[in-house]
Amino acid sequence: MTTPTNLSIDIGIGEMTCASCVARVEKALKKVPGVQSVSVNLATESARIEVEPIDQIEARLRRAVRDAGYLPLAANEAVDASEPSQWAGFMPVALGLAMSAPLALPMAGDLLGQHWMLPSWLQFLLATPVQFILGARFYKAGWHALKALTGNMDLLVAIGTTAGWALSVWLWLSARPDTMPHLYFEGSAVVVTLVLLGKWLEARAKRQTTSAIRALHALRPESAHLIGPEGEVDVPVAEVLVNDRLVVKAGERFPVDGVLLEGHTQVDESMLTGEPLPVVKDAGAPLTGGSINGEGRVVMQVKAVGSETVLSNIIRLVEDAQAAKAPIQRLVDQVSAIFVPVVLLIALITLLGWWFSGASFEMAVIRSVAVLVIACPCALGLATPAAIMAGTGVAAQFGILIKDAQALELAHKVDTIAFDKTGTLTVGRPRLINFVLAQAGDEKALLAAAASLQSGSEHPLARAVLAAALEQSLVFDMPENVRSVSGRGTEGLVAGMDYLIGSLRWIQELGLELGNLAPRALELQQQGLTVSAMVQRTAQGLHLLALLAFGDEPKPGAKKALAQLRLQGIKTVMISGDNRGAAEAMARRLGLRPEAGEVMAEVLPGDKATRVMALKQGGHVVAMVGDGVNDAPALAAADVGIAMANPGGGGTDVAMHAAGITLMRGDPAMVAAALEISKRTVAKIRQNLFWAFAYNVAGIPLAALGFLNPVVAGAAMAMSSVSVISNALLLKRWKPRNL
């Protein structure tokens, strides 16, 4: 766990090629004084380091990366916001293909019964530039690995191809002048070219896994129409300040977050929520940067800029998820740490075994080269991060933000989901249905006093009281000495009189009985309403003034979403602070079964986390779904916290930080979609790891036994990485069902 005094530093790392490189970079960074933890990701070519705030610590980290033989880059260089050319970096591959093709031509001729063997000197002239110029990257990285007493893919390629090239030179120079020896220049040159081709295809595929990040960056307009003292002027978005007024025309993206001041429009927020239908916006409505203004010219007031905008937060969440290392990756790291030394040992045994068994030395070398080439652990290093990047990227397109890889890996195991009621399963905008006086009196005056006391609260019930007072055009004074009692209610002075408004439980805790209003309170609760009491405190004690009954509505589709989760074998539970009667009445409207323990009523905000922990202790893998500040402890306590965000603001930021997954649309059906993409992603990770391990387990013995020549081994090795990424990219075709 990172302490508040620690820093999180991201560094891009160039020239990593396989899982062994990841282990080597992590080892080098962990040696830097002050480093607490390191996570290096091969797919994003980046490292996230938790460090103590020591002077020049970032420079020391970059120096450690460079000393380990890799290239430190800016954190955002690995994922450029611009879309690179599909053929970027292909030139070395093209040159290698051009020079290797004539060398490989005799193999094709043999299939046709032709003998097109090039002169030895020409084979040498074609193969040598491929080996030592185009293949220089393998020697450079391999040398750094040797100096660090470790191994990597480059070292295997460098040793294997150099052995083939050197053997060919020796056979050529030692042959009699009138003979044409069988040389292996084509094997070394083709392997180098195939590895370069594989790395190029791999890089091209990796760019597709980062397309979600680039698409999010592209949503940011470069300029804004600022209303200044001299009229409307265009300024860079980076110069926009909070409280500035901006003009946004039809079809343009809102440059930053704010509120609508003038005009009426429909806004396309699909980039945030995945909701394809436009959202109607009137004056005072919240606007989110990156969303599209669908109708005419409107004026907005800026409320957040730069890193504080919703879009920046989304990008940060997706980047964090893609940079994180899934727990399952630990197995890969342990294997890759010993993989290359083991392969070198197997190659040596292969060489000696064939030679001592009577095979020619050149044949023994070729078998050993095939082992070195086919054993490169590229696919192992890419199996997990490629799937995570593709899964989190496509999820973000549908408004599902996965904050960390651990949540992604755990979500598919969830068998119990606890839902907060208000704002999660219900609309979250309760209305004041009944205002029942304890005795005859001025109902409007009392309602005005209640509205005054609640005027400073953001609680949904408090806003319902205010809305009811405003509907009747009541005028009320500002309260004094207001005190909020968590989970119970509010107390304060209005026009010199001391009032309390809170739950019936609180009133009873204070020793006040409902008296003749008790039957009415029970009747309202049985109707599914949430009942509060308004009390006046005097020198003589507490006096009950009125009952306030609030009603909320289930969210459209909530009942269907809960039914679908049940069909999948997932237990659903509703947690509510309401009294049991009101909570059970709402639960039945949602299709939940109170008799089956699917309702937890009268739960104080501080006790939600305790209830979640109790479910976990019962042997369940628990997800908690909530949308408010008071849900944050429960979200953090759950195995998987799922926050329902409100892009317009409210109290969901705290919930988002506590949760591993954030749903950008308040639709309960998205919970099932989040579990589904987790299941699909974990399945891809397992498939990739299986094939990566199986490839090496099968390939190394086949090469050692002589069933694979170096060219075939090189082609297979190059395609293994591409196949792993291509399999992960199938996740991009995923679409949530029932949304």
Query: Is residue 420 annotated as part of the catalytic site, yes or no?
Result: yes
Element (H, E) at 380: helix 378-397
Q: How far is the CA of 151 from the CAs of 18, 96, 372, 641, 672, in angstroms?
A: 10, 25, 12, 40, 44
Strands 541-551 and 530-538: antiparallel
Beta bridge partners of 39: 48
Overall residue count recorded for the chain in this entry: 739
- From the candidates 244, 420, 578, 631, which is the catalytic residue? 420
Strands 46-51 and 35-41: antiparallel
Report the interhelical angle of 153-174 vs 361-374 (nearest 10°): 160
Token pair for residue 63? 């120096």
**H, E, C per residue of 308-319:** HCHHHHHHHHHH
Which ranges constitute the DSSP H helices of 547-607?
558-567, 580-589
Beta bridge partners of 35: 51
DSSP state of 422: I
The end-to-end CA distance of the chain, in Å, is 36
Q: How far is the CA of 174 from the CAs of 167, 359, 368, in angstroms?
A: 10, 19, 22
| CA dist., res. 56 & res. 710, Å (int) | 47
Tokens 């300029």 found at: 223
DSSP state of 87: T
User: What three-state secondary structure class fits 232?
Assistant: strand
Token pair for residue 520? 């009415």
Pair 660, 640: CB distance under 8 Å: yes
Q: Which of 619, 663, 664 is closest to 413 using CA atoms?
A: 619
Other Cβ atoms less than 10 A from the Cβ of 621: the count is 18
Element (H, E) at 368: helix 361-374
| CA dist., res. 141 & res. 714, Å (int) | 18
Sheet holding 541-551, edge to edge: 431-437, 541-551, 530-538, 497-503, 489-494, 480-485
How far from chain centre, in Å, is Cα 403?
4
Pair 159, 348: CB distance under 8 Å: no
How far from chain centre, in Å, is Cα 209?
12
Rounded to the nearest 10 degrees, how much is the dihedral formed by the CA atoms of 227, 233, 236, 242? -10
SS percent in the chain: helix, strand, coil, step 5: 50, 20, 30
Residues annotated catalytic, as ranges: 420
